[in-house]
Each structure stands twice: as structure tokens, then as C-alpha cells.
């Protein structure tokens, strides 16, 4: 049965107040990974929110090394966390039912094919927010979002996220020089789109 408008609004309110099940999962997972001394960083929409692009999402993306993910799973799967399916890199919080998507260091965003942009070591591209949770830096988030959107046509949300991040953070056209050359020209194109005023 579909959610009512009121239920959707309540869920959105909890998200933007940072009291949603998604936030609960992010915080709980972050505590566990820190306790295990596993380097990681929050990526995806939750990272975009941390950089000012406020939108809801249904899951938590984490950047992590494959061996560290396996170490986490060997200790915690079956204890509040569940594999999505046998052999999956993704898993679920059984307390909140929120899904966690793992972005593996060395893999490639978007279509997964080799390209000049890959998922980097989390400790080199993150900062700790006020809660002490490691979040992808804006530069890296943009590179990954743009590289994904460039190579997967069914994920226009990634390019839209990049446009909104450019607009909200008032990034200059010259910011392209800080990005991997693979995405620099696409950034310039998205920057132009970000200058369009949607207020009529």
C-alpha cells in the first residue's frame, strides 16, 4: 500500500531534522567502523547533504576497502546487519531496515569500467563532521558524481546532484582545475547549467 502524503511529509521532516532511520544507520555503522579502526567515508546523497544539497535518500553509501568490508562483515553480519544476498558487497541494517551500499576502493564509478576516476582511499579524501563522522570532501564527491553520470545514462540524478552542489556552494568555473581532467569539461558544462535561475 503506497504511503499517504502525510506519511511522506513526516518521513521527510525526520530526514531533514537528521532523526531519520537513515541517519541512525549512518551513526551506528560509523561507531562500529571507528571501533574496529576501519578507514571509511560517507559518500553519495548523505555526503551531498553534508555539503548543503538537502535531499532525501533511502540508503547510506560508504567508501571502504574490500578487505575492511570483509572484516566488518565477518564480525557483524547476523548481529544487527544482514547481507543483501550471498556474495553481495551491500548489506542491510536489520534494526532500521536501511540499506548500505559499499563503494570499494579501486573500483570505478558509474558503469564500473576502467576510467581515470576511481574510488580513492577514504582517509585521503574525507573530513570529520561535527559528530566525528568522516564525510567525502566536496572535490572528491563531485568527481565521483560526474564520472558516474557521464558513464551511466540511467543515473541522471548524479549529474543533477553535481549541478545543485555547484549552485549551493557557489563554486566558480575555475573549480574545474581542481578536478580530474576526465571530468573537468563536464564540470564546466554543469557549471553553466547551475547558473540558470529557476525562479520565474
Number of neighbouring beta carbons within 10 Å of residue 103? 21
Number of neighbouring beta carbons within 10 Å of residue 178? 13
199 inside domain = no
Strand order in the sheet with 81-83: 81-83, 91-93, 99-104, 59-64, 40-43, 134-136, 126-128
169 inside domain = yes
Cell of 200: 520565474
Kindly report, residue by residue over 115-145, the tens digit of the pLDDT: 999 999 999 999 999 999 999 999 999 999 9
126 inside domain = yes
Cell of 100: 548500505
Confidence band of 200 (pLDDT split at 50, 70, 90): low
200 inside domain = no
How many structural domains comprise the chain? Answer: 1
d(CA 132, CA 128): 5
- Please give the model's pTM, rounded to 2 decimal places: 0.91
30 inside domain = yes
Determine how β-strand 59-64 pairs with β-strand 40-43: antiparallel
CATH code of residue 112: 3.30.460.40
Instruction: State which residues form the domain around 35.
Output: 5-194
80 inside domain = yes
- Lowest-pLDDT choice from 21-25, 160-164, 194-198: 194-198
Q: For residue 155, is pLDDT > 90?
A: no
28 inside domain = yes
Query: CA dihedral in degrees (147, 111, 61, 78; nearest 10)?
Result: -160
Amino acid at each position: 500500500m503506497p504511503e499517504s502524503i502525510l506519511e511522506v511529509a513526516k518521513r521527510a521532516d525526520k530526514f531533514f531534522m537528521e532523526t531519520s532511520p537513515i541517519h541512525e544507520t549512518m551513526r551506528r555503522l560509523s561507531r562500529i567502523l571507528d571501533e574496529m579502526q576501519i578507514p571509511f567515508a560517507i559518500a553519495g546523497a548523505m555526503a551531498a547533504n553534508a555539503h548543503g544539497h538537502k535531499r532525501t535518500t533511502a540508503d547510506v553509501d560508504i567508501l571502504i576497502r574490500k578487505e575492511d568490508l570483509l572484516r566488518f562483515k565477518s564480525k557483524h553480519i547476523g548481529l544487527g546487519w544482514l547481507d543483501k544476498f550471498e556474495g553481495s558487497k551491500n548489506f542491510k541494517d536489520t534494526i532500521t531496515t536501511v540499506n548500505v551500499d559499499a563503494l570499494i576502493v579501486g573500483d570505478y564509478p558509474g558503469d564500473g569500467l576502467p576510467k581515470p576516476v576511481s574510488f580513492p582511499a577514504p582517509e585521503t579524501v574525507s573530513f570529520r563532521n561535527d559528530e566525528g563522522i568522516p564525510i567525502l570532501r566536496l572535490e572528491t564527491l563531485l568527481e565521483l558524481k560526474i564520472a558516474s553520470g557521464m558513464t551511466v545514462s540511467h543515473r541522471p540524478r548524479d549529474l543533477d546532484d553535481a549541478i545543485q552542489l555547484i549552485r549551493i556552494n557557489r563554486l566558480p568555473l575555475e573549480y574545474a582545475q581542481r578536478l580530474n581532467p576526465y571530468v573537468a569539461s563536464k564540470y564546466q558544462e554543469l557549471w553553466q547549467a547551475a547558473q540558470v535561475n529557476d525562479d520565474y
